[in-house]
Amino acid sequence: MSVQQIIGNAWTGEGNPRRIIIEIESDRISAVLPADAKTARPDAIVLPEDALLIPAFHDAHAHPLIGGLQLGWCRFQDIETVEQFSDVSSAYVKEWNGAKGSWIRGAGLDETRVKITRKDIDRVCADNPVFIWSHDLHSAFVNSTGLVHARIDGSVKDPEGGHFERDASGVLNGVLRETATHVVERMIPPMSEDEARQALIRAQEYAFSLGITAISSSARSEDIPHYLKFVQSSDCRMRINLWRVSERFDFEEDRFEKQSRTGFRYATQKGFADGSLGSRSAAFWEPYSDSSGSGIALVREGPLARWVKAAHREGFQIAIHAIGDRTNSICLDAIEMAASSGRGPEFRPRIEHCQHLRQKDIPRFAELGVIASMQPTHCTADMRIVEPRLGTERAKFSYAWRSLLNHGATLAFGTDWPVEDLSAIAGIHAAVTRNGWQPQDSISVAEALRAYTLGSAFAAFWERDMGSIAPGKLADFTVLSENIFAYNPREIKDAKVLMTVAGGEVVYDSRTG
């Protein structure tokens, strides 16, 4: 359904909510007027008194292809015992209608809650190969048949940046760390074009149901064609800011032809500088408090600086995954080294996650023009393990949203879906309340909303088209069931998305689904 006029209580991206009239021509906003400025059109959408219209959410870091695929896989969220794992797996296998000998896929297993090995999977499914992603997508779990299908036996050597875990007797236990996951995953037959298309359509519909009309997403080289084909089709109605993943921080190897048009951008290179806190592969200056290791830094300052400088020289944006405080320091140092020629901030370099920082590194984000691309629900999901793994002092500078804003940094918020759920409302609740943990770094509703709208748009070079409600911008809106500015912060998570509008078209209406 096309929309020409919307009337209701709105937050435009600045100031306080107020009642306004928004007029739309084609796919853009033509006017924003006081509610009493003119008579409502007969076909106007008049919002409920309690509802709140906002700029549509832009998830600054999500993975719609794998998220869409996982919507059809066995899901292990909230599993806390081996018995629960067996029950969920058995129920899925019983209903699964794949071919004998084909791979069974799963995702969402959080090993900070439950430990699983190939023997646990074998007890449920021994005939088909099984591959299960961990909650953080930095580890995976396979059964014995999976190892056989992947042609992996006890003689296998660890790949660079990864590890095949073994039990006390030296036998492979089916747990794969970091790059070892790719060794096995690449033995799984690739998805078909239609499977990829259906996954992206599922992800798009799910995003619309949560008020999200734009997603920034990284993809490995083998998945880029699926995204390109999708955005060129009539199926695509979502804005996609696509990044290509660098495997070795080799610019010549990573080079591609940039693309940019309304609603689609492909001009960012993304690399991984460490792992995750859950897998203890995030790199820190000091050892983990509950183990002897200090994580895995996958790149050093010099090579990283050369990659950043080469990318900036040819007009590419860079995004670097960094979780641990040491890795964030490495990234900031490399970006500073690369900018020694006076160029860099104009390309809006991004650090993805920047979860754990040294206090002295916090001001450097603004000083170097580095965007802090963060996921608030990582905080509320991980807070129970942060202090046991890092100790009290380091935990004080974890998920430091308020500290970063106070020093002038730009925040761009997302979810890392399917690592966490795609819900931006859950993210806003996490950013405002932090569930009571380290409250000194909580932020206001307006600041959280801005990070999920204009901050994400700025990080994608889309601030002229998206991120706020103003004449000339795309008519992308989200309608919330409640005015969350007036809500008790603890109740923000209970707000619902009533309607989503993309380019002047209603793409989700809770009344019709």
* CB-based contacts of 503, cutoff 8 Å, min separation 6: 27, 237, 263, 474, 475, 476
For residue 360, what pLDDT is reported?
98
Mean pLDDT, the chain cut into blocks of 10 residues (513 residues total): 96 96 97 92 94 98 96 92 96 89 93 94 95 92 96 94 94 95 93 95 98 97 97 97 96 95 97 93 96 94 96 96 98 95 88 98 97 98 95 97 98 96 98 97 98 98 98 98 95 97 98 77
| Alpha-carbon span 457 to 467, nearest angstrom | 5
**Looking only at Cα atoms, what is the longest distance across the chain?**
79
Local structure of residue 356 (DSSP, 8 states): B
> What angle (nearest 5°) sits at the alpha carbon of residue 205, between those of residues 445 and 78?
70
For residue 278, what pLDDT is reported?
87
| Alpha-carbon span 70 to 47, nearest angstrom | 34
| Alpha-carbon span 476 to 54, nearest angstrom | 9
For residue 112, what pLDDT is reported?
87
Inter-CA distances, 47 with 3, 20, 58, 507, Å: 13, 11, 22, 16
Inter-CA distances, 194 with 68, 198, 226, 239, Å: 13, 6, 9, 20
For residue 513, what pLDDT is reported?
62
Pick from 247, 262, 223: nearest CA to 307: 247
Beta carbons of 320 and 350 less than 8 angstroms apart: yes
Amino acid, single-letter form, for residue 184: V
Name the token pair of 202.
């599922």
Local structure of residue 498 (DSSP, 8 states): E
Beta carbons of 488 and 292 less than 8 angstroms apart: no
pTM: 0.90
- Quickly list DSSP for 221-239: TTTHHHHHHHHTSTT--SE
Instruction: Enumerate domains of the chain plus CATH numbers.
Output: 1-55+467-513 (2.30.40.10), 69-185 (3.10.310.70)
For residue 107, what pLDDT is reported?
94
* CB-based contacts of 497, cutoff 8 Å, min separation 6: 209, 210, 211, 425, 478, 479, 480, 481, 508, 510
Name the token pair of 460.
């994608």
Residue with tokens 């209580």: 9
Beta carbons of 164 and 158 less than 8 angstroms apart: yes
